[in-house]
Amino acid sequence: MKIKKVVIPVAGLATRMFPATKAVQKGMLPIFDRPILQYVIEEVIEAGIKDIILIVNEDYETIDKHFNKDIDYRIKNSNNVSNEYIESFKKILDCNINFIIQKEQKGLGDAILCAKEIVKDEDFCVALGDVIIDSNKKSVTSQLVDVYDKYQKTVVAVETVSEDKVSMYGILEWDKREDNIYNSVRLIEKPERSQTSSNLAMVGRYIVKNEIFDILSHQNPGKNGEIQFTDALNELSKKNELLGLNFDGKTYDVGNRLGYLIANVEFGLKDKTNSEKIKEYLKNLVSSDFRIGDDYEF
Ligand code: G1P
């Protein structure tokens, strides 16, 4: 089955980013030159996915405006806006973008279950809206789709995290591996370090078999009293039906202040036009004779 749909949960209140997110949705905060959510959507488009289902809270007007409305002709005609930006945005406007309101924040599993009616009986992708994954080769979603196509199983993106971070993620325990593909035997949501010896963390990209909806609809609340997506995925793991892909790419958790700032700096450094200037600025900033607040000439 070809993966055509993605579910992107962005209904959270983004309390870790308050007050920046009081009136602006977290997904709309910019990283260097575009909103967080645009990176995520561009990533899935690269994998051939054009049906985009956003799970939102009631305040999704700016998201709708950004992704669904045509670009104002004055912007299109402005000398400040390069053709490259306009052309790449057209790919987004070509997609079919739907919104589903999650009325109560009952957990990630509940958010995904909201998409059941619209996904129907297809297998689908899930991409968390507060994680950007940058890859030099294929996008992480494309890499996952390749594994799904080959094995016809649910596959989740994982990466190794340091011991002190294990309790911040859904963790995958495995028995066998073939190169960078792990056969999962158990998934645990945000375990204490003592609860697992694995440090393979799920980072927010998944290709899931449709049966997950059935599992989710019977899922009891788990960690923090929430319907956990990880617990539902663990049911597939128990049946030997779940793989982990240690993908090629770099993860940016942009849902907290430090991660957000780091991503801004790094995406700035990746930008051809500004890279050298930013590098020089950063070098000067950390040198002994330059103090924060000093004027800086570009
Ligand atoms: C969610 C998931 C967790 C996953 C993480 C990745 O947690 O529940 O399994 O590892 O995203 O960012 P959250 O960070 O939203 O609390």
**Ligand 1: residues within 6 Å at CB?**
108, 128, 131, 169-170, 189, 201-204, 229-230
Looking up tokens 């799904």 gives: 148
Question: For residue 108, which atom of ligand 1 is closest to its CA?
Answer: 8
Question: For residue 203, which atom of ligand 1 is closest to its CA?
Answer: 6
Tens-digit pLDDT profile for residues 188-201: 999 999 999 999 99
**Confidence category of residue 294, pLDDT binned at 50, 70, 90:** confident
Distance from residue 228's CA to the centre of ligand 1 (Å): 9
Q: What is the mean pLDDT of the chain?
A: 95
Question: For residue 12, which atom of ligand 1 is closest to its CA?
Answer: 15
Structure-token pair, residue 191: 């375990």
Phi and psi torsions of 208, nearest 5°? -120, 140
Phi and psi torsions of 158, nearest 5°? -130, 155
46 and 137 Cβ atoms separated by less than 8 Å: no
Type and span of the H or E element at 270 = helix 257-270
Give the pLDDT score at 296. Answer: 73
Please list, in sequence order, all residues whose beta carbon lies within 8 angstroms of the beta carbon of residue 220, skipping any fewer than 6 positions away. 227, 231
Half-sphere exposure of 208 (CA within 13 A, CB side): 31
Give the pLDDT score at 91. Answer: 95
Question: For residue 255, which atom of ligand 1 is closest to its CA?
Answer: 14
pLDDT at 298 over 90: no
Mutate to test the pocket of ligand 1, among 108, 171, 224 (most ligand atoms within 8 A of CB): 108
Written as one string, the DSSP assignment of 70-138 is: PPPHHHHT-TTS-HHHHHHHHHHHTSEEEEEE-SS---HHHHHHTTHHHHTT--EEEE-TTEEEE-SSS
Give the pLDDT score at 284. Answer: 85
Please list, in sequence order, all residues whose beta carbon lies within 8 angstroms of the beta carbon of residue 122, skipping any fewer than 6 positions away. 1, 3, 4, 5, 210
Tens-digit pLDDT profile for residues 38-77: 999 999 999 999 999 999 999 999 999 999 999 999 999 9
Give the pLDDT score at 257. Answer: 94
Give the pLDDT score at 295. Answer: 77
Distance from residue 132's CA to the centre of ligand 1 (Å): 13
Query: Shortest CA distance to 216 belongs to which of 115, 129, 124?
Result: 115
Mutate to test the pocket of ligand 1, among 15, 169, 253 (most ligand atoms within 8 A of CB): 169
Query: From the CB of residue 83, how many other CB atoms can be counted at a distance below 10 Å?
Result: 8
Question: For residue 130, which atom of ligand 1 is closest to its CA?
Answer: 12
Give the pLDDT score at 6. Answer: 98
Whether the upstream peptide bond of residue 191 has omega within 30° of 0, thus cis, is no
Query: Shortest CA distance to 98 belongs to which of 63, 126, 131, 71?
Result: 63
Percent of the chain with pLDDT over 90: 90
